[in-house]
Structure 1
Amino acid sequence: MPAFDSSTVTFDLPDRGRLAGVRLYQEVGLRTLDFEPVAGGWRLVTARPPVSRMEYLFELLHRDGNRETVLDPGNARRVAGVFGDKSVLEFEDYAPPGWLAEPPREGHRSGTAGRPEVSWWSPEAGDEPMPLLLVHDGPEYDALASLTHYVSAGIAAGRLPRLRVALLHPGERNGSYSVNDDYADALAALARETPATVRIGMGTSLGALAMLHAHRRHPDLADALFLQSGSFFTDAFDRHERRFPGYARITAFVEEVGRGDPVRPVPVALTCGGAEENLRNNRSMAEILDAQGYKVTFRETRDVHNYTAWRDAFHPSLTRLLQEVCA
Structure 2
Amino acid sequence: MTITGTPVGDVELAVVTPVGTRRRDPLPLLVAHDGPEYSRRSHLLSALRAATADGRVPPNRVVLLEPGDRNARYAANPLWGDALVEHVLPALHTAYALDGRPTLMGASLGALASLEAEWHHPGTFGALFLQSGSFFRRRVDDEEDFEFWGRVTRFVTNVRRVRRRRTDARIVLTCGGDEGNLANNRQMAETLAASGHDVSFTEVPGRHDWPSWEHAFDPHLLDLLDLAARRSRE
**TM-score of the superposition, structure 2-length normalised?**
0.88
Between Structure 1 and Structure 2, the one with more helix by share is 2
Q: In structure 2, which of residues 51, 62, 69 is the aligned counterpart of residue 165 of structure 1? A: 62
CA contact (8 A) 1:223 1:266 kept: yes
Letter of the structure 2 residue corresponding to residue 163 of structure 1: N
CA contact (8 A) 1:192 1:221 kept: no
CA contact (8 A) 2:74 2:113 kept: yes
Quote the Cα distance in structure 2 between the aligned partners of 1:228 and 1:127. Answer: 31
CA shift digits 1:82-129 (9 cap, x unpaired): xxxxxxxxxxxxxxxxxxxxxxxxxxxxx4454321111111342432
Percent identity, aligned pairs only, is 42
CA contact (8 A) 1:208 1:229 kept: yes
Letter of the structure 2 residue corresponding to residue 152 of structure 1: R
User: In the alignment, what sits opposite 1:199?
Assistant: 102
Tell me how far 1:269 sits from its aligned partner.
Answer: 0.9
CA shift digits 1:159-205 (9 cap, x unpaired): 11111100000000000001112111010021234232221010000
Quote the Cα distance in structure 1 between the aligned partners of 2:3 and 2:103. Answer: 22
Structure with bigger RCO (C-alpha 8 Å, 6+ apart): 2
SS of the equivalent of 1:117 reads strand
Q: CA RMSD in A?
A: 1.3
Quote the Cα distance in structure 2 between the aligned partners of 1:113 and 1:266. Answer: 25
Q: Which runs of 5+ in 2 are unaligned?
A: 5-9
Quote the Cα distance in structure 2 between the aligned partners of 1:266 and 1:125. Answer: 27
User: In the alignment, what sits opposite 2:16?
Assistant: 121
User: In the alignment, what sits opposite 2:135?
Assistant: 232
Letter of the structure 2 residue corresponding to residue 200 of structure 1: T
Letter of the structure 2 residue corresponding to residue 314 of structure 1: F
Letter of the structure 1 residue corresponding to residue 173 of structure 2: L
Q: Which runs of 5+ in 1 are unaligned?
A: 1-110
Between Structure 1 and Structure 2, the one with more strand by share is 1
SS of the equivalent of 2:14 reads strand
CA contact (8 A) 1:201 1:211 kept: yes
User: In the alignment, what sits opposite 2:73?
Assistant: 176
SS of the equivalent of 2:102 reads strand
**TM-score of the superposition, structure 1-length normalised?**
0.64
Runs (4+) of structure 1 exceeding 6 A deviation are: none
User: In the alignment, what sits opposite 1:6?
Assistant: none
Greater Rg, structure 1 or structure 2?
Answer: 1
Quote the Cα distance in structure 2 between the aligned partners of 1:192 and 1:259. Answer: 31
Q: In structure 2, which of residues 34, 39, 46 is the aligned counterpart of residue 142 of structure 1? A: 39
Tell me how far 1:220 sits from its aligned partner.
Answer: 2.5
